[in-house]
Chain A
Amino acid sequence: MISVIKPGLETSVQDWPGRIGYWEQGFPPSGPFDSWSFRLANLLVGNKPGEAGLECQFMGPTLRFERDAVVAVTGADMVPTLDGMGFEMWRSHKIKAGQALTLGPARKGARAYIAIAGGIDVPPVLGSRSTFHMAGIGGIEGHALKAGQSLPVGQGTATPGRQVKLAARPEIGGTRDWQIEAVRGPNDDWVDDAAHQRFVTVGWKLQARSNRTGYRLDGPEWTFTERATNKRLEHGEHPSNVLDHGYPVGTVNLCGQTPIILVVDAPSTGGFINPYTVPSGAFWKLAQAKPNDTFHFRVVTVDQAHELRRAIDRLCTPASLE
């Protein structure tokens, strides 16, 4: 059992790949935003890569361990300490009953992950322990951690002192300029060539009003093709309106003139077009970006997007530990 002393800004229980199979009914997958860092944290403490752990956003929690545990922290650098002493990231550590682990504000990156041997043992909802706070399901009482709560921990055994090889870690170096892969479509034929040109040449600024639901971007105006401007009435008035349709997770959803990348807690359907989609292999970069960071999009093919994901999957195995 773990006691929450300070909850951090918005710390939640997540598992991977999250709540799959209920997208049709409006339940997003949720799960860790940077699943690369998350899976490595679990592997470090002897868990399956998808076991439930904690996602800390921007400012981490203070947790007191009521039992001995083996714990690892990965992802953003929130300068973790154990009873005030340095706690090396990307490495498994033994924590003794009564000790407190503290994560502070993110120095590099935005999201850190805490894995505990045995995983966080909350009851699964629709097959997943991931928190989806908007509907209040999963995790601890459906929401982010609150001070005074207790986190149940499952049974697990792990070896302290293991670490992730440098070459297997995502590069979270504190850059404010990100190159983000994007696949054209599904609705790329609704915007014109000039808009496609601007999409890849301009730096898009991440707005502060961004979270696990959507990443709002600031940039130039979009221009449209005939398909968007001369369409049946039921598609709506604005060129970016379309008959309600399903949204891919990761899609660049054009709401009027504001592109919003729909991420892990996104709505499943709506009435706006999606000219591009960020593939799953680039999600870790979105997760580690901060407001006012700049995104430069690089168009890749579907095959390249699959390869990007596979390259990360290949690193999320015990072979990446030493």
Chain B
Amino acid sequence: MIYDEPRFLPGGDKFIEMELGDEMSFDCNFLVHSVAALIRQAKIKGIVELVPELSTIMISYDGDQIGFADVVREVGALRRSIGSLEDQELDSRLIYFPVLYVDPWTRACYDDYCAKIAKKEWDPELLVRVNNLVDLKQLIRVHSGCEYWVAALGFWPGLASHMPLDPRCVLTAPKYNPPRTWTPKQAIGVGGGLCAIYPDQTPGGYQIFARTPAPIWEPTQTLPAFKQSLALFRPGDRVRFVPVDREEYDYVERKVGEGSYQHVISDFQKFSIKRYHAWLATIDPKERF
């Protein structure tokens, strides 16, 4: 549920967890980002940074500039000022990723896991089975069939949790148990109901079945997309996965290597939750592409 009154929970002397609800839903997450945007705009003296997540915001504060009770009072007032969620609009960039589905690198990673850690069903086939799809072609169609909402950042620099915005494209999957010790950089995976691009070669638990040549974080800040920040995503961004063939994948990878790849980002849209809800009402969520 989404709470009428948020809960404010202390995390030592520097953090306060603001709990806005206890569900994983687009609406709850949209509220999180709406409140986070208001807190940033308000520039409250002593509030240092925010970690907006699925249904919570971790607020860090400087206790020499603002007390716990004042954070609760000021941020609580901002939450109340929102009124109806339906009237909210947020700036939202749309970022396109070229994707090679059922690629050789995630396959090699899977083979390595089976040889060294545990035998398991091949990730793309597991995804087809647990989501009642017909074949790998449909998996690609479904996964690339909608925009994804950047619901949260964190855990690893650059990593983001992507939530499908079209219920017809929701894929769910159990996580690896035990987890993988490594994942190919920029592999794409699904775990629970969320999707993620692995920013780097890291351990992982999502079922992996695709890879993009476009980086989502770059410590050297060479590519134009990283001039402002080492990490690409901001909360409220949307992502679209565009299936490409191996030739196109290699072309983009080469451009990345040369330092000349331009991420495809459009930045002229606002996300209206009212229009999103109205659109949701027109579709049959049980349908698949």
Contact = CB atoms under 8 A, between A and B. Distances in A.
What class of interface size applies to chain B in its complex with A?
35 or more
A22 B154 CA distance: 9
Interface in A91-147: 125-126, 135-137, 142
Contact of B13 (A23, A235, A267, A308): A308
Contacts, number: 157
B22 A277 contact: no
Given A137-B219, A234-B193, A270-B155, A277 B12 contact: yes
B193 A246 contact: no
Contacts of A278: 12
B61 to A, nearest CB: 10
Contacts of B53: 243-246, 269
A187 interface: yes
Interface in A138-194: 142, 183-188
B51 to A, nearest CB: 3
Interface string A190-217: 0000000000000000000000000000
A20 B14 contact: no
Nearest to B64: A310
Contacts of A25: 153-154, 157-158, 229-231, 233
A268 interface: yes
Interface in A18-34: 20-27
B192 A234 contact: yes
Interface stretch (A48-56, A66-74, A76-84, A247-255): A247-255
B159 A26 contact: yes
Contacts of B156: 26, 135, 267
A298 interface: no
B154 A26 contact: yes
B68 A24 contact: no
Given A25-B154, A25-B157, A234-B192, A248 B14 contact: yes
What class of interface size applies to chain A in its complex with B?
35 or more
A142 B155 CA distance: 18
Contacts of B153: 24-26, 269
B219 A280 contact: no
A274 B11 contact: yes
B158 A183 contact: no
A235 B56 CA distance: 13
Contacts of B49: 20-24
A126 B9 CA distance: 29
Contacts of B125: none
Nearest to A306: B63
A248 B22 contact: no
Q: Is the interface of A mostly helix, strand, loop or mixed?
A: mixed
A3 B219 CA distance: 26
Contacts of B9: 185-188
A305 B12 contact: yes
B10 A183 contact: yes
A167 B90 CA distance: 54
B58 A248 contact: yes
A309 B63 contact: yes
A305 B13 contact: yes
Interface string B193-230: 10000001000000000000000000100000000011
Given A20-B49, A246-B53, A269 B157 contact: no
A270 B154 CA distance: 8
Interface in A210-227: none
B9 to A, nearest CB: 3
A27 B48 contact: no
Most buried by B among A135, A137, A186: A186
Contact of A248 (B11, B64, B159): B11
B272 interface: no
B187 to A, nearest CB: 17
A71 to B, nearest CB: 30
27 contacts: A20-B49, A21-B48, A21-B49, A24-B153, A25-B229, A26-B153, A26-B155, A26-B231, A125-B230, A137-B157, A137-B219, A187-B17, A232-B22, A244-B53, A244-B54, A245-B58, A246-B56, A246-B58, A248-B58, A249-B12, A267-B155, A268-B58, A277-B10, A280-B13, A302-B13, A302-B68, A309-B13
Interface of A: 20-27, 125-126, 135-137, 142, 183-188, 231-232, 234-235, 243-251, 267-270, 274, 277-281, 302, 305-306, 308-310
For the complex of A and B, the 8 pairs showing the least CB-CB separation, nearest first, are A246-B58, A248-B11, A246-B51, A186-B9, A248-B15, A269-B154, A277-B12, A305-B13
Interface of B: 9-17, 22-24, 48-58, 60, 63-64, 68, 152-159, 161, 192-193, 200, 219, 229-231, 233, 235
